[in-house]
Amino acid sequence: MLKLRILSAIFGVPLLLFIVWTGGWLLVAGVVVLVGLGWKEFIGLMEKIGFVVRGRIGWLVLFFPIAAYLDCSGFIPGCFSYLPVGILLASAFGFIISYPGWKLADVAVTLWGIFYLGMLLSFWVLVRELNQGCYWIVLALILTWASDTGAYFTGRNWGKRKPWPRLSPGKTLEGALGGLFFCIATSLLLTSTSEFFRWGGPDLGLTGSIVLGLVVSAMAQAGDLVESGLKRSAGVKDSGCLIPGHGGILDRFDSLLFVMPTVYFFVQIYTKYKFF
């Protein structure tokens, strides 16, 4: 298992970094593929739970990354904000036309999945289009890895208290705090030395670095818990088997679903208001 994980990382990480560095429509295409594969896994999980995902509106999830790029690049300003409204209207009309064929619970689950996957994954595109966007994505990836690694090793060696025994019995309070500490320490190290090593990113200062590490770790762990809840409800260990040694798309990107929007809004607040 460990060998498979290492091999997947050797091939997957350089490809991911190349797509992020290139940006533009290549990144959009990559995110669309991720959304589509993740959506297929989501449908499988919901079917195991007992819901029917409505495909007629569900595959609109693929338009989110495209809308994000068209919006932030100035081709169609505001379309990323308008798309959720259009999807809600489409689901309402679909419910009316198909009544009583579509159950309200199925429509609600479909909409939740669309926003959970399509909207959140699209923040990869939005972050990349920010000033120094490539830097922010790489920083988010490193901080997420630091949080996951810190939580794993701390929980494994000192974990005792389990705050979510029914949701994720393997996770401990000590592990969560260890993840926070590792993430904050990594944030301080990378952001404070960015100018010296010419990483290309801004020096956030002490407070900004701590806040960034804190919110990234908290959101990474929240994303992991949400995915754990979905899998536990479906009675499965992994959401899929696409990535050898890692499971499915949702297994690998669960933390980043929450991290990328967090980084996006952090950058917006930091650059506009300079609170830190």
User: Is pLDDT at 3 greater than 70 in this prediction?
Assistant: no
Q: Give the model confidence (pLDDT) of 102-131 as tens digits.
A: 888 898 999 999 999 999 999 999 999 998
Query: Could you give the CA distance from residue 78 to residue 136 in angstroms, rounded to a whole number?
Result: 23
Tokens 């289009």 sit at which residue?
129
Question: What number is the average pLDDT over the span 250-262?
Answer: 93
Give the DSSP per-residue string, 187-250. Answer: HHHHHHTHHHHT-S----HHHHHHHHHHHHHHHHHHHHHHHHHHHHHHT-S-S--SBTTTBSHH
Look up the pTM and report it: 0.90
Q: Give the model confidence (pLDDT) of 26-71 as tens digits.
A: 999 999 999 999 999 999 999 999 898 887 788 889 999 999 999 9
Q: Give the model confidence (pLDDT) of 18-34 as tens digits.
A: 999 998 999 999 999 99
Higher pLDDT pick, 56 / 236? 236
User: Is pLDDT at 243 greater than 70 in this prediction?
Assistant: no
User: Is pLDDT at 2 greater than 70 in this prediction?
Assistant: no
Closest CA to 154 of 181, 193, 118: 181
Q: What are phi and psi of 129, to 5 degrees?
A: -85, -5
